[in-house]
Chains A and B, each alone.
Chain A
Amino acid sequence: MLRVENLEVVYNDVVLVLRGVSLEVPDGKIVALLGANGAGKTTTLRAITGLLDIHEGEITKGSIHFDGDEITHLDPAVRVKKGISQVMEGRRVFAEMTVDENLKAGAYVNSGSDAVEAAYERVMDLFPRLKERRKAVAGYLSGGEQQMLAIGRALMQQPKLLILDEPSLGLAPLLVQQVRDVIVEINEQGTSVLLIEQNANMALSIAHHGYIMETGKMVMDGPAEKLLRDEDVQEFYLGLRGEGERKSFRDVKHYKRRKRWLS
């Protein structure tokens, strides 16, 4: 469905942020993209959705294909129409508008058609809480509700592929669970998902496949279960060591990582 090949992105003509990133999201699957801060996860998202330009970023090499068509340099609106929707990091709901208006804004590309009604019903079914607060101003919703609204807004575009950037950021553990369940449900309804996360535990527990990024490169990829069992992933991303014993920061201090990632 989505195929990214050897993507290279440069910010401000000098800062090389992505150095040859490749990834693939197969039809109907959940794919997790993991990595620490500054690894290039969000840049990858911007390249896929076409929002690099306002950040002075540019794709200098590589290509992005969606459903067989090349979309590397298309306008963001065209990509949304083709079926790629995103939930941006930090929710970014239109705080001064009501829940309903936010959803209407989300349906901009396909408004006027019957499909919007269906999409609206789907969102209301998925998030009963939003149904209760339909007339509420989005800025006054709780963080969890705002995240639901952000996801609902993206679903109004009836995407074939939904990309979520750090949906668990800043949410309480219980809410993270909820977001997780919603993502699974959306996927079961037939939407492919690319899940960008720092919360590797949460992401890998629902993903079919995982990619791990570091400083602008893919360093590892494999089926989610395999990544969950991988010793290095456990140590660096899941906070476990050996048989799950806790790790002291004192050890970390002396530990200089020499190992290179090999996939």
Chain B
Amino acid sequence: MIEAVVFAQAGTSPAGRLLVDFLSLGSIYALLAMGFVIIFKATQVLNFAHGALAALGAFLVASFATVLQVPGRWMPGAPLWLRWTLSVLAALALATIIGMVLERIVIRPMLGEELFAVAIVTLGLDIIIRTITNDFIGTQARPLGDPFGTNVWAIEGFTLIPWTIIAQVATTIVLVALVALFFRSRLGIAMRATAFDQEAARAQGIDVGRVFSISWGIGAFLAGVAGIFLSLFPRRAAGVDQSTAFFAFAAFPAIILGGLDSVVGAVVGGFAVGLAQALATEFLTGISFLGVGFAGVVPYLLMLAVLLIRPYGLFGSEEIRRV
């Protein structure tokens, strides 16, 4: 958080600072929330390991791009941006596979068990992934070695931050893709059916195991994408470190705000929380009795306020019950 403030102050005007903070935070929260929502919507499992998966994704990118130089070491002549993009794709592919493997060995055996129990299992998963990833990361932040670094684009008097813009595009693409998936595709309908009633879904011939596997794969992929943006300028230009997972965990207010099972809600919730946090960073940091880092608490306050008025979140589906 403190880093974010430092970078925001490096910006030009207060309004510009606010906008950058809002957009960069909002898109990260939205991406995290959408990854969470896909797992929840398909399996009804609250995935508490989502923050850890985000950090894992960012760490994989850092390893592939800088330490291992995969696949860059086999193509010395290629430009940096190409090598880096390929490293990112390789890392995200691995993150997706890890998500599917975790589902297969940890979540699948819990099929048909109490959802509460499965959620607790993901909490354990969170601790395990975080511990292992942090062990690899070590005490220093690991840079992702991206081609842009802290550069900005100056176009016609505007200062544009590349990663913030790319994050907006990525968020939009993911939003459209997920809405199409859930409401148009056969797989999406199978996912919703599975989430609602596993046994009835199996009775229709839906392969519930496959639905679980795919949704965890996509979830881990999206968490990885969010983790990457989280570890780049203007958020944390230094790279991924041990606190990345904790920061990603702050997407929970966004998820709950949006209503857990709504893709659109996840995006709105993400940007709402991003805005609240950006405003708090801008205007509340100077107030001494609130202490340092109060902006980090604001998302949870916002969540509390919304839940008091709409317990199912802004866009969540109300439980349908005939009387």
Residues of A that sit less than 8 Å from B by CB: 49, 51, 54, 75-77, 79-81, 86, 88, 92-97, 101, 104-106, 108-109, 111-112, 137, 139-140, 153-154, 157
User: Within 8 Å CB of A137, what residues of B?
Assistant: 320
Report how far A75 CA is from B203 CA in the complex, Å. Answer: 11
Are A104 and B186 in contact (CB-based, < 8 A)?
Answer: yes
The bracket for how many chain B residues form the interface is 20 to 34
Q: Are A157 and B317 in contact, with the CB atoms below 8 A? A: no
Given contacts A51-B199, A76-B202, A108-B189, 17 further A-B contacts (CB under 8 A): A54-B199, A77-B205, A77-B207, A88-B203, A92-B197, A92-B203, A94-B192, A94-B196, A105-B189, A105-B192, A105-B201, A108-B190, A109-B204, A139-B321, A140-B320, A140-B322, A157-B204
B291 within 8 A of A: no
Contacts of B111 in A (CB 8 A): 54
Known contacts A54-B112, A54-B198, A96-B317; A80/B204 CB under 8 A: yes
In the complex, are the beta carbons of A101 and B205 less than 8 A apart? no
A-B contact pairs, 25 of them (CB 8 A): A51-B202, A54-B111, A54-B112, A75-B207, A76-B202, A77-B205, A81-B205, A92-B197, A92-B200, A95-B196, A96-B196, A97-B189, A97-B193, A97-B196, A101-B189, A105-B189, A105-B192, A108-B206, A109-B204, A109-B205, A111-B186, A137-B320, A139-B321, A139-B322, A153-B204
**Binary CB contact string for chain B from 78 to 117 against chain A (1 if under 8 A, 0 otherwise):** 0000000000000000000000000000000001100000
- Which residues in window 142-168 of B have CB below 8 A to A? none
Q: Tell me which residues across on chain A come within 8 A of B206, comparing CB atoms.
A: 77, 105, 108-109
- What B residues does A140 contact at CB under 8 A? 320, 322
> Roughly how many angstroms separate A150 CA and B252 CA in the complex, as a whole number?
37
CB distance from B180 to the nearest CB of A (A): 14
Q: Which 3 A-B pairs have the closest CB atoms?
A: A80-B205, A139-B320, A109-B205
CB pair A104–B189 under 8 Å, yes or no, is yes
A88 to chain B: which residues have CB within 8 Å? 199-200, 203
Asked if residues B192 and A101 are in contact (CB atoms below 8 Å), the reply is yes
Docked Cα-Cα span, A111 to B188, in Å, equals 13
Contact flags (1/0) for B99-139 with A, using CB distance below 8 Å? 00000000000011000000000000000000000000000
A-B contact count (CB 8 A): 81
A96 to B321, CA, bound (A): 9
Residues B172-203 near A (CB distance < 8 A):
186, 189-190, 192-193, 196-203
Q: When chains A and B are docked, how far (Å) is the Cα of A112 from the Cα of B317?
A: 29
Contact yes or no, A49 B203, CB < 8 A: yes
* Contact of A112 with B321 at beta-carbon distance under 8 Å, contacts A94-B196, A105-B206 already known: no
Q: Are A96 and B204 in contact (CB under 8 A)?
A: no
Q: Are the C-beta atoms of B320 and A94 separated by less than 8 Å?
A: no
Cα distance A240–B87 in the bound complex, in angstroms = 78
Q: Tell me whether B320 and A96 are in contact (CB under 8 A).
A: yes
B246 to chain A, nearest CB (A): 34
A157-B205 in contact given A51-B199, A92-B199 (Cβ < 8 Å):
yes
Nearest A residue to B196 via CB reads: A94
Q: Considering the chains assembled together, what is the distance between the CA atoms of A140 and B322 in angstroms?
A: 6
- State the Cβ distance, A214 to closest chain B Cβ, in Å: 26
The 8 A CB mask of B200-242 against A (1 = contact, 0 = none) is 1111111100000000000000000000000000000000000
In the assembled complex, the CB of B214 is this many whole angstroms from the nearest CB of chain A, namely: 14
Q: Which residues of the partner chain B approach A80 to less than 8 Å between Cβ atoms?
A: 203-205
Q: How far apart are A185's CB and chain B's nearest CB, in angstroms? A: 22
Tell me the bound Cα distance from A140 to B193 in angstroms.
17
CB distance from B45 to the nearest CB of A (A): 16
For A104, the chain B residues whose CB sits under 8 A away are 186, 189
Among A54, A77, A97, which residue has its beta carbon within 8 angstroms of that of B192? A97
Residue of A with least CB distance to B205: A80
Query: In the complex, what distance in Å separates the CA atom of A190 from the CA atom of B196?
Result: 32
> A95 — which chain B residues lie within 8 A by C-beta?
196, 320
Please name the residue on chain A nearest to B321 by beta carbon. A139
Known: A96-B320, A139-B321. A51 touches B197 (CB 8 A): no
Interface residues of B in 304-323 (CB under 8 A from A): 317, 320-322
